[in-house]
Amino acid sequence: MTDYADASAVESVAADWPVTFLECRTRAHNWRPLDDLHNTFYHVHTVTERCGRCKGERTRDEGERGEILSDWGYDMKPGYYLEGIGRIAGASRNVLRRVMRERGNGRVTVVSGLQAKAEVPRTVLRDERQRASA
Ligand SMILES: [Zn+2]
């Protein structure tokens, strides 16, 4: 059975994380090609990518025809993996999104009404469409 982290444990560890870790954990990594080592004896490309935000790296083997030969192996920066608090999912993941926003870099735009269609939340537009078609 997987142990899940409780929200208060996540809240306290997330306070110490760099914002980049929070962004990668809530919005996914930003993988970019870093290296491609072609071993002509084994006919294998060992491909390495690095995340542009958290600087974690992942590596896997691919064949000369492009086929995938291994799973990704991950080499993350110290502190990215948490020992002993369990898997972060559900309400605990909500905590990460909220903390990321609170510690974010000013990209939040505040709107107070319905001045323009683009400012209406997607969930509100979806609910209006569902009401109209009912
Ligand atoms: Zn990352």
Domain membership flag for residue 126: no
Rounded mean pLDDT, 52-68: 96
Mean pLDDT of the chain: 87
User: What band does 2 get if pLDDT is binned at 50, 70 and 90?
Assistant: low
- C-alpha of residue 68 to centroid of ligand 1, in Å: 22
Let me know how long the chain is.
134
- C-alpha of residue 119 to centroid of ligand 1, in Å: 29
Is residue 17 a contact partner of residue 79, using CB atoms and an 8 Å limit? yes
Domain membership flag for residue 131: no
User: How many structural domains are present in the chain?
Assistant: 1
Domain membership flag for residue 28: yes
Beta partners for 20?
Answer: none
CA separation for the pair 68, 63 (Å, rounded): 6
- C-alpha of residue 93 to centroid of ligand 1, in Å: 16
pLDDT, tens digit, for every residue of 86-119?
A: 788 888 889 888 888 888 766 777 777 666 666 6
Residue whose token pair is 């469409």: 129
Q: Which phi-psi region, left, alpha or beta, contains residue 45 (left: φ > 0; alpha: ψ -120 to 50)?
A: beta
pLDDT, tens digit, for every residue of 117-126?
A: 666 778 888 8
Domain membership flag for residue 50: yes
pLDDT, tens digit, for every residue of 31-40?
A: 999 999 999 9
